[in-house]
Structure 1
């Protein structure tokens, strides 16, 4: 069972991304999404990241809320 805090820093770690403050800032400065694209369809995800996002949202998992925040910040 996943007992980690579900925040942006831990989501980045879960996705295998640099979760330092500078890494998160760089990610948002380098990546954006058009309003009509699903988050999981973004070209910057690998297959594992895409699967994690899709599954978490489909199952309304604990990560869903912070994934929604990530989605909003990429718009």
Structure 2
């Protein structure tokens, strides 16, 4: 069972992405989404990443908090 409180860094690791601060900042800058694109529907995710994001969002579990944080950061440029 996952005991550690999820963080943005752990989310990046869970998604198989580099989790150092510089890499996360770069990912967020490079993957800004328009307001009409839901996070889990973005075309840059693999099927497994998409499933992870959607399933935890739907469960509204501890991961949902950091998934929402990532969602907000990826929509900064959309004005939403």
TM-score normalised by length of structure 1: 0.94
Structure 2: tracts of 5 or more residues without a match = 76-80
Structure 1: tracts of 5 or more residues without a match = none
**Taking CA–CA contacts closer than 8 Å with sequence separation of 6 or more, which of the two structures ends up with the larger relative contact order?**
2
Cα deviation 1:4-47 (Å, max 9, x = unaligned): 23111111001110001111011011111111111100011000
Matched positions, count: 75
The structural deviation recorded for 1:3 is 1.1
Task: Give the match for residue 72 of structure 2.
Answer: 72
Superposition RMSD in Å: 0.8
Task: Give the match for residue 50 of structure 2.
Answer: 50
The separation in 2 between residues aligned to 1:42 and 1:64, in whole angstroms, is 17
TM-score normalised by length of structure 2: 0.89
SS in 1 for 2:62: coil
Structure with more helix by fraction: 2
State whether residues 4 and 10 of structure 1, in contact with CA within 8 Å, keep that contact through their aligned partners in structure 2.
no
